[in-house]
Amino acid sequence: MREITRILRPRKRERLDKYLKEAGISLSRNKLRELIENGNILVNGATVKPSHIVHKGEEIKVLYKKETPFFIKPQCISLDIVYEDEDLILINKSPGIVTHPAPGHLEGTLVNAIIYHCNLAGGTGKRPGVVHRLDKDTSGLIVFAKTEKAHLALSKQIETRKMKREYVALAWGDFELKKGVIDAPLGRYTLDRKKMAVTPLLSRSAKTHYEVIEKFGYITYISLSLETGRTHQIRVHLEHIGHPVVGDPAYGGRRRYPYVDIDSFKEIMSIIKRQALHARALTFRHPRSGREMKFEAPLPQDMQYLFSFLRHQKKN
């Protein structure tokens, strides 16, 4: 990986992220936004938002790292295949597996497994077939495209919010409202760039809808849907309103919640080693036929065990 610095001077008014793509910065739009939000792209020496309008005569300094292409190796890894045809493959992802390779984590991902399963040769593409992501320790439904045409069509559905993704979670606390919307902008956490936070600084809008399904006193089972798909969005938003996802090591889910006795807390932490968050349902139109398709995935074993514990406590 080599570090590159470029100085650019625009000749017309244009959105910064769009201008950078046209100027030949060979990075994805999401990566460019990340660089802007992290302060790696400066306009006249100052940080700005991705939506900033550049003007003729401004100086834009771009500092980024050019990643060396890496070979993605096909690997025989067990997959829970929910649906598959010539255009796409839908997986019920287990917690603990990464979606796609990245520097420092080149093997053991879903992409490695899918390349093997689909009898592809492997290659140096960074994220072949990836339409959307799930965090390493989030379980549930994720779809991959097998062809470029399918990838474009499915990605467009994500971009236009026509692909519907429903999640379920066990969150700490007793929700006062039956349903609600969390509308809070997300950006990088200044003290740890791997984490996100609710912040007005270099942030992007984010909306999460939630609805209570079942209450267990100090834990509530909820369904969630996203208007936006920001990194760690559900986890950060739930922590922001004081109801972190049970078990979440990064966003307050492994701290003892008030009104929970110490023995119950220890038992819960022994059952769930990760955030109790599951991508339960996925609805989209098939990229070839246009037919609407909806799939659901059952709760993983650790969340089922946690339900058994909570329901036993509720009865007693």
Q: Are residues 149 and 169 in the same domain?
A: no
pLDDT band, very low/low/confident/very high, at 23 (cuts 50, 70, 90): confident
From 130, 159, 188, give the residue that closes a domain.
Answer: 159
pLDDT value of residue 124? 45
How many separate domains does the chain show? 3
pLDDT value of residue 109? 94
Active-site option among 17, 85, 87, 135? 135
- What value, to the nearest 5°, has the Cα angle with vertex 26 and ends 62 and 49? 45
Q: Are residues 44 and 123 in the same domain?
A: no
How many Cβ atoms from other residues are within 10 Å of residue 227's Cβ? 13
pLDDT value of residue 98? 94
76 domain-assigned: no
Percent of the chain with pLDDT over 70: 93
Q: Are residues 171 and 147 in the same domain?
A: no
71 domain-assigned: no
pLDDT value of residue 58? 87
Give me the domain span that covers residue 57: 2-66
Rounded CA gap, 122 and 112, in Å? Answer: 8
User: Coil, strand, or helix at residue 302?
Assistant: helix
| pLDDT beyond 90 at 26 | no
CATH number of the domain to which 174 belongs:
3.30.2350.10
* 282 contacts 164 by C-beta, under 8 angstroms: yes
Q: Are residues 15 and 132 in the same domain?
A: no
261 counts as catalytic: no
Q: Are residues 53 and 92 in the same domain?
A: no
168 domain-assigned: yes
Q: Tens of pLDDT along 49-59?
A: 878 898 888 88
| pLDDT beyond 50 at 135 | yes
Q: Are residues 168 and 311 in the same domain?
A: yes
* 222 contacts 171 by C-beta, under 8 angstroms: yes
pLDDT value of residue 5? 67
Over range 7-26, report the average pLDDT.
81
172 vs 103, higher pLDDT = 172
| pLDDT beyond 80 at 123 | no
Tokens, residue 79: 């997959």
Q: Are residues 204 and 280 in the same domain?
A: yes
Q: Tens of pLDDT along 189-206?
A: 877 878 999 998 778 899
Average pLDDT of the chain to the nearest whole number = 89
pLDDT value of residue 120? 67
pLDDT value of residue 1? 42
Q: Which of 88-92, 201-205, 256-260 has the lowest mean pLDDT?
A: 201-205
Please tell me the total number of residues recorded for the chain in this structure.
Answer: 316
